[in-house]
Each structure stands twice: as C-alpha cells, then as structure tokens.
Amino acid sequence: MVMRVLIAEDNSELATVLSRILGAEGHVVDIATNGTDADALLAAEFFDLVLLDLGLPLMDGLDVLRRLRARSSDTIVLVLTARAELADRVKGLDLGADDYIAKPFEVEELEARIRALLRRRASATGSVIRIGELVFDVATRAVQVADQNIELPKRELDLLEALILRAGRVTPKSELAEAISSMEDAISEGALELYVSRLRKKFEPAGLHIRSLRGLGYMLEAV
C-alpha cells in the first residue's frame, strides 16, 4: 500500500533519513520542519500517516496532534519523541496518537511499528480486500494493483466491486447486472459481458481471473 506520509520533525538530518527510507518503499513523503507548517499541511491535505516530533518550533507537537484530532482526521499518528517522560507519552496517547517511539531509535524498529499500525488499522476498519495482486478499499473504492492506483470508469468499478464482494462464489449474470444497474440506467446481460471483458483485459495480467461458468454466471478468483 502506497501511503502519503508527513514527517513533522525539526531535526532536518533525521527528517531526511526518514524521508529516504519511506520514499524507497514507494511512499509519497512530505517534510514539515516546524509545527505551524505541519498543522497547515495536515489541514489542507490527506495523509495516511504522520511521524510527529513533539518538540517542534512554532507549534508544539501535542498542539499539532490536538488540532488534527479536533478535525476528526483518522490519519495514523506515530509520535517521535526525545521526551521519554511518561507524562508526555500518556498525554500524546490521550490526545489520539496511535503509538510513540522514543528517540534515538533503530530504523528497523520504526519500520516494524509502522507495519503494525497499518495492520491494526486495516483489521480495525476491515476495509481492505486483497485478491491476488489486487487491493480494494471498500470504504473509498480505491483499486490498486502492485501498489499502483488503477482508475476505472464508473460501470467497470461498480462491476469490479460487485465481483470482489462475491469473490470465490459463482454469481448469476442477472444478479451482477442488477447490482450495477441504476434507476436511470438498467444494464443488460449483453452490456454486462462487455464490462466483464474490459475488466479481464485490465486485470488478467495481475493474476485476477473472472471465470465464466456457462449458464451459471461469473466468479472472480486469483490464479
């Protein structure tokens, strides 16, 4: 999963190292070197994850966090702190940080923490379905293959979603046509077959197979 990550850290050497590491994993990374910039970026754009230093100039990290949560953002917050004191940790977690890591830390530990947070997030929302190389976010309907976002026309996305939610079982054409029809636009079984062939063309290379069972319907499976 490619993430948008904000590194809010005034130690520019550390910020650069972290940015390189996360960038090398394919993530899109921004750096803010003070609390005001971090706050402005978080208010203006969506980030999946923020690595938040508590001791930031201009605006304290705890204030950045407080303001972020006040906007009911569900950005994952991993606090980076040299303040190993229990009070600050507790305060950070109370304010809605997902985890913290005390500086100095090993890169491996940071990566492990990030992976654990992502796993926790995915299982908490239950919103991501993986089939072969395809990743589908039920909440946002975002489609990714091998970490690349795939943009689909509406009908194809509707059909893909309908197939994904029924993956591994045979679904009659009539049911699928119904699922992607709207009030204004009824989809015939002929049109459905057309959308199926378009999806096959796009997703067969990713190891996703839409099996056709004569007289029964379609079934999505990983090959």
The answer to whether residue 34 forms part of the interface with Ca ion (CB under 5 A) is no
Residue 209, token pair as written in the block: 């197979």
Query: 37 or 53: whose CB is closer to Ca ion?
Result: 53
Question: What is the smallest separation between the CB atom of 184 and Ca ion, expressed in angstroms?
Answer: 56
In this complex, which beta carbon is closest to Ca ion, that of residue 54 or of residue 150? 54
Contacts of 105 (CB under 8 A, 6+ apart): 80
Which ranges of the chain does DSSP label H, i.e. alpha helix? 12-24, 35-44, 61-70, 86-94, 107-125, 154-164, 173-180, 189-203
Measured from the CB atom, the residue of 23 and 57 that comes closer to Ca ion is 57
The count of other CB atoms within 10 Å of the CB of residue 187 is 19
The site that binds Ca ion (CB under 5 A) totals a number of residues, namely: 3
The shares of helix, strand and coil residues in the chain, as percent rounded to the nearest 5, are 45, 25, 35
- What residues numbered 79-98 form the site for Ca ion, per CB under 5 A? none
At closest approach, how far in Å is the CB of 94 from Ca ion? 20
CB of 198 to Ca ion, least distance (A): 51
> Are 133 and 108 a contacting pair, CB within 8 Å?
no
* 10 makes contact with Ca ion (CB under 5 A): yes
**CB nearer to Ca ion: pick between 10 and 30:** 10
- Can you name the residues that pair with 81 across neighbouring β-strands? 102
Binding track over 51-80 against Ca ion, x by CB under 5 A: --x-x-------------------------
Residues that bind Ca ion (CB under 5 A): 10, 53, 55
